[in-house]
Chains A and B, each alone.
Chain A
């Protein structure tokens, strides 16, 4: 049965009426989303400043407004982005990506793996079977690592949110994507050169593939894709709302209370150690791309240099303890440590580069 087939009662109705009835709910949802997005700021202006009578320039007033406005804005953006990204990604699958990468030589394949790492639907809980599946089917180790680095590092949520921060726009979003892809490509290439396969647990190479892989995208109808998108929005929002609230609260506190000259002095363009400190702080911190965004926005407004800021954000999202623990199942500690060091070095270099050129 096809989900997008018209229901029996509609059969025989004029084509335009069927089309209109089917397009109705999606159009309503899109319009409601736009209305909520546009009404968000005026609404909280009205509630916080006019109804509650708080001062726009006071710390409490500004902080509360930032918190309420940002929570709604981020929730709306997230729902929209996750939905669109999930539907777009349902056309690609990990199996198809592996087929595209199999048997290629290192170099260009690293870049291809990084790009596919961003575009392929992938959850970090599948990191281990994906790693084994890639390596067992002949994708070079370094190319596989490029894929695994790019996947969390260049995040669609972070792209759109950076784009949405006032003063960032398309330029910073593009810089973030380009530098993320370069870091994943180069780090994978370097690791492929220096890391011998004896640093990979031996059972990976003994794994044999049998059976016919299921190509997830083949049998999906548009109805299925929309349903996948809706489920993904619900799943991600359920999982990350605590990170989000903590991030927005931290953002509101920085926004209102952090002394501007303090951040500008310690993490501004003049301090040569700022990106280093940002990466060292960011690696053990673990948050979601969405949770870190309000902090990024507030730090930016308080004068943190752009390269330092991007380095901080990337180190928070790219290297996380839960993923390291998962990867430990297939990578020996030496390779795991080298992996973290190479990625951190790449992020650090990006931070310095952007501080120098922006």
Chain B
């Protein structure tokens, strides 16, 4: 599984990245987490509100910071 965190590096993005890492550990998934800070790439996903969560090249959430449980839910329920 390939997880990307889209965002310019603001506090919200760091929080989302931390929660995604936590969710991956809790679920025992084999996933790679990557932070994307490059604006053209972010917009390329059709995302205008950061932070956004991309799982295997699909945008599953944008514009808010979910709880760890919600991230876990997004990762499993696809």
| CB of A219 to closest CB in B, whole Å | 10
Q: Are A207 and B43 in contact (CB under 8 A)?
A: yes
CB-based nearest A residue for B41: A207
Q: Are A203 and B40 in contact (CB under 8 A)?
A: yes
CB-based nearest A residue for B38: A203
Q: How far is the CA of A216 from the CA of B60 in the complex (A)?
A: 10
Residue in contact with B48 in the complex, picked from A95, A203, A210, CB distance below 8 Å: A95
A208 beta carbon closer than 8 Å to chain B: yes
Size of the B side of the interface (Cβ < 8 Å), in residues, is 24
| CB of B76 to closest CB in A, whole Å | 13
Residue in contact with A129 in the complex, picked from B42, B58, B60, CB distance below 8 Å: B42
**Proximity string of chain A (205-218) to chain B, C-beta cutoff 8 Å, 1 when within and 0 when not:** 01111111110100
A94 beta carbon closer than 8 Å to chain B: yes
| CB of A316 to closest CB in B, whole Å | 22
- Which residues of the partner chain A approach B59 to less than 8 Å between Cβ atoms? 211-214
Q: Are A210 and B49 in contact (CB under 8 A)?
A: no
Contact flag A209-B62 (CB < 8 Å), given A94-B49, A133-B48: no
Contact flag A125-B8 (CB < 8 Å), given A210-B44, A213-B46, A214-B47: yes
Residue in contact with B39 in the complex, picked from A121, A212, A228, A329, CB distance below 8 Å: A329
| CB of B65 to closest CB in A, whole Å | 8
| CB of A217 to closest CB in B, whole Å | 10
| Contact residues of B between 42 and 78, Cβ < 8 Å to A | 42-50, 52, 58-65
Q: How far is the CA of A212 from the CA of B43 in the complex (A)?
A: 11
A114 beta carbon closer than 8 Å to chain B: no
- Which residues of the partner chain B approach A121 to less than 8 Å between Cβ atoms? 49, 63
- Which residues of the partner chain B approach A208 to less than 8 Å between Cβ atoms? 44
Q: How far is the CA of A284 from the CA of B40 in the complex (A)?
A: 30
Residue in contact with A228 in the complex, picked from B49, B62, B64, CB distance below 8 Å: B64
| CB of B39 to closest CB in A, whole Å | 6
Q: How far is the CA of A125 from the CA of B64 in the complex (A)?
A: 12
Q: How far is the CA of A32 from the CA of B39 in the complex (A)?
A: 44
Q: How far is the CA of A185 from the CA of B15 in the complex (A)?
A: 36
Q: How far is the CA of A213 from the CA of B58 in the complex (A)?
A: 10
Contact flag A133-B43 (CB < 8 Å), given A95-B48, A213-B48, A216-B49: yes
CB-based nearest B residue for A219: B61
Q: Are B40 and A94 in contact (CB under 8 A)?
A: no
| CB of B17 to closest CB in A, whole Å | 15
- Which residues of the partner chain B approach A130 to less than 8 Å between Cβ atoms? 48-49
Which residues of A line the B interface, CB within 8 A?
93-95, 98, 121-123, 125-126, 128-130, 132-134, 136, 203, 206-214, 216, 228, 231, 329-330
A-B contact list, 14 entries, CB within 8 Å: A95-B48, A126-B50, A129-B42, A133-B48, A209-B44, A209-B46, A211-B45, A211-B46, A212-B46, A212-B59, A214-B46, A214-B52, A214-B61, A216-B49
Which residues of B line the A interface, CB within 8 A?
7-8, 10, 12, 39-40, 42-50, 52, 58-65
